[in-house]
Amino acid sequence: MQTARGATLSEDTPPGTADGPGPTTPEKKKPVRRVGLMIAALLIAAFAIGLDQWTKNLAEANLDPSDPVRILGGLVYLDLTWNSGAAFSLGTDYTWIFTTVASAVVVFLIVLSSRIVYPVWAIAIGLVLGGAAGNLLDRYFREPGFPNGHVVDFISVFKPDAQAFPIFNIADSALCCGVVLIVLLELTGHGFSPESRKADEKKKEAAA
């Protein structure tokens, strides 16, 4: 066999070696990229967990539950409380159920992080994972003990004692920010997978 330039190319010669390197294979780069994005998501989650637990420990060590601290001109009150329910004190009578569900969610998010292909999704998944895991650690290790541990909340906005809005913590904030980011990504056609993005593009083309 001969190439277009006349150079002989044997049957055993791999394509692309006669006139230079063959085409690159992006498939080989995908595993490396996904590992990097998974690590990024886990690092974001770890930062959220660390910040959450650190601030909770500070709150327990320095705040009096009966004496909220007014800061930022009354925009925020540091108001220590313990929550047996879900985020924002919802469902206080079902602590063990929330512990079970949160454990499953954390495992699912860790597995899902291995499939991330877009950097912005690493941020979103990392925030949700960090928020879920931060409160889950309280369920596991704080009083009265697993699986009914109470979550430490200490941030009250506008008014103390949850008069204007439920008292929350850093984990709740990370979780909500991650969920909002996910919703925005989906609504703007920036889906989790390439397949979902292609489907959104086809819908836009069909509607045009």
Q: What is the pTM of this model?
A: 0.78
Contact call for residues 85 and 94 (beta carbons, < 8 A) = yes
19, 67, 153, 161: the active-site residue: 153
Distance CA 68, CA 156 (A): 9
pLDDT of the residue at 132: 96
pLDDT tens digits, 103-149: 999 999 999 999 999 999 999 999 999 999 999 999 999 998 888 89
Tell me which H or E stretch contains 76: strand 76-83
Which ranges of the chain does DSSP label H, i.e. alpha helix? 26-62, 95-113, 119-141, 170-187, 194-207
pLDDT reading at 86 higher than 70: no
Active site residue 172: yes
Distance CA 66, CA 206 (A): 60
Q: Tell me the pLDDT band of 188, cut-offs 50, 70 and 90.
A: very high
Domain ranges of the chain: 32-187
Contact call for residues 131 and 172 (beta carbons, < 8 A) = yes
Tell me which H or E stretch contains 79: strand 76-83
Distance CA 201, CA 3 (A): 40
Active site residue 64: no
